[in-house]
Structure 1
Amino acid sequence: MANILVVDDELGIRDLLSEILNDEGHTVELAENAAQARLARSAAAFDLVLLDIWMPDTDGVTLLKEWASAGALTMPVIMMSGHATIDTAVEATRIGAHSFLEKPITLQKLLKAVELGLARRNPAKSAAVSAASAHAQAESPMAQQASSLHGDANAGPHAHQGFDLDRPLREARDGFEKAYFEFHLAKEGGSMTRVAEKTGLERTHLYRKLRQLGVDLGRGKRANG
């Protein structure tokens, strides 16, 4: 997975992007302004940077120019803004930005932009990782457990044997829902994005639901790591 720097002066956006990217298995470092971003960039090499344009000390385009002039623009940079003009986006691209995300940033657009940015940095590695991940998912204990649960679900009238039905309805329902979500987490290799799509739940609601049920969110990833 990748080492990603998120630069944005809004705490809520930093926290949201960090949570999503961490869930996808990336390592995330946060900076709330250009000064912190400069320090982070000088101390570490990043695979990708998400950079806000409008910040209180130095705007993102100016910081992008600094990195380009200093030869420090060695990673894809995705610009972010809710108020930028087309001219600003074009200028950032000309300087060396990989792409531009308009706020509010949707989950699908964020993950797609990050995927494309990382693929651009090392396309061969990206393809190899995808193939290895698919193979690992098929061979992992979590995938085998998912297959077993899937078999139980198709076992007709005996499918309930894995649940203690001699309980209050709420407890029985929680037990079923926990097994249901663990099945999908195993099947999708721990990817919350794919689980949200499969189960038809909005991602934020899915997070709350899994935490409420006590589902181990890192279980699928550890099995596939």
Structure 2
Amino acid sequence: MANILVVDDEHGIRDLLWEILNDEGHTVELAENAQQARVARTREKPDLVLLDIWMPDTDGVTLLKEWSSTGQLTMPVIMMSGHATIDTAVEATKIGAMAFLEKPVTLQKLLKAVEQGLARGLPVRAPVPTQPAVAVPPSFYVQDTTPTVFATAPVAPGPVAVQSFELDKPLREARDEFEKAYFEFHLAQEHGSMTRVAEKTGLERTHLYRKLKQLGVDLTRGKRSGS
């Protein structure tokens, strides 16, 4: 995944964007002002920057101009603001910003802008003449006749649990289906214990609970099956 720099003077906005982007699998660096952003830009070399326009020391448009004039605008930059005018947004895009997000930023618009920004920032690769091999984990097998992946996981004691996933759908939908089945499996294994599931999956308890609610997982299912 990508390395993303979030520059915003509001602590709550930084934390929210960190949670969302980290949940998407990205590495997220935070900066609360232009000076911290300069340091992070040099140290981390981000793949994409989310840059607030109104900041107390140096505003985002000025920082964008600085990066552009010094040859440091080598990554896609998405501007953010809750008070910027259309003229400001147009100015930022003329300087080199690829998009503008109005606060409060919605989840759908944020993820779409990030996806487009990262796609623009990816290097162009030569086409591979042969069909790429797909690395399949031991718990998966792919049938040749249908575009379906079957995940099998033994439950001891008891029969083998089988879950199928259709591949002919958007990545996010397919991933959500897999993650839901994954967490439901572990909840059943741990008899609904959020603490043990958090330890087993490597997530913090609060993050895990938020994830389960987002996926629509029935939190009582594991307790019922284990009772």
Number of aligned residue pairs: give it: 177
Distance 2:134 2:14 in 1: 33
Within 1, Cα distance between the matches of 2:59 and 2:94? 16
Once the two structures are superposed, residues 76-100 of structure 1 have per-residue CA deviations (whole angstroms, 9 ceiling, x without a partner) of 0000111111111100000000111
Taking structure 2 as the reference length, the TM-score comes to 0.62
Name 2:208's counterpart in structure 1: none
| TM-fit CA distance, 1:135 | 3.9
Residue in 2 that maps onto 1:214: 197
Counterpart of 2:101?
A: 101
- 1:148 Cα offset (Å): 4.4
Partner of 2:37: 37
3-state SS of paired residue (1:79): strand
CA distance in 2 between partners of 1:35 and 1:60 (Å)? 11
Query: What is the aligned partner in structure 2 of residue 222 from structure 1?
Result: none
Q: For the Cα contact (< 8 Å) 1:6–1:51, is it kept in 2?
A: yes
Partner Cα distance (1:118, 1:103) in 2: 21
CA deviation vs aligned residue, 1:150-173 (integer Å, no higher than 9, x gap): 9x9xxxxxxxx569xxxxxxxxxx
Write the mapping of 1:1-225 to structure 2, written as runs, cut at 5 A: 1-122=1-122, 124=124, 135-136=134-135, 139-141=136-138, 143=140, 147-148=150-151, 194-195=175-176, 214=197, 216=201
Over residues 168-224 of structure 1, what are the superposed CA-to-partner deviations in whole Å (9 max), with x where a residue is unaligned?
Answer: xxxxxxxxxxx9xxx799x99x9699528x97xxxxxxxxx9967825267xxxxxx
**Greater fraction helix:** 1
Partner of 1:202: none
Q: 1:112 to 1:211 in 2, by over 3 A?
A: farther
Q: Percent same amino acid among aligned pairs?
A: 63
Q: Distance in 2 between matches of 1:193 and 1:109?
A: 20
| 3-state SS, counterpart of residue 109 of structure 1 | helix
The answer to whether the Cα contact below 8 Å between 1:24 and 1:191 also exists between their aligned partners in 2 is no
> CA–CA distance in 2 between the matches of 1:213 and 1:103?
37
Aligned mates of 1:162, 1:66 — CA distance in 2: 63
- Give the aligned residue type for 2:77: V
1:80 aligned counterpart, secondary structure: strand
Structure 1 segments unaligned to the other structure (5+ residues): 153-160, 164-178, 200-208, 219-225
Tell me by how many angstroms 1:118 deviates. Answer: 0.9
Shift of 1:110: 1.0
Kindly report the root-mean-square deviation, in angstroms, between the aligned alpha carbons of the 2 structures: 4.1
* Higher strand residue share: 2
Q: Mean alpha-carbon deviation: is it higher for 37-46 or for 91-100?
A: 37-46
CA distance in 2, matches of 1:211, 1:90: 48
The structure, 1 or 2, with the larger RCO (C-alpha pairs under 8 Å, 6+ apart) is 1
The answer for unaligned runs of 5 or more in structure 2 is 142-148, 181-191, 204-227
Q: 1:83 to 1:71 in 2, by over 3 A?
A: same
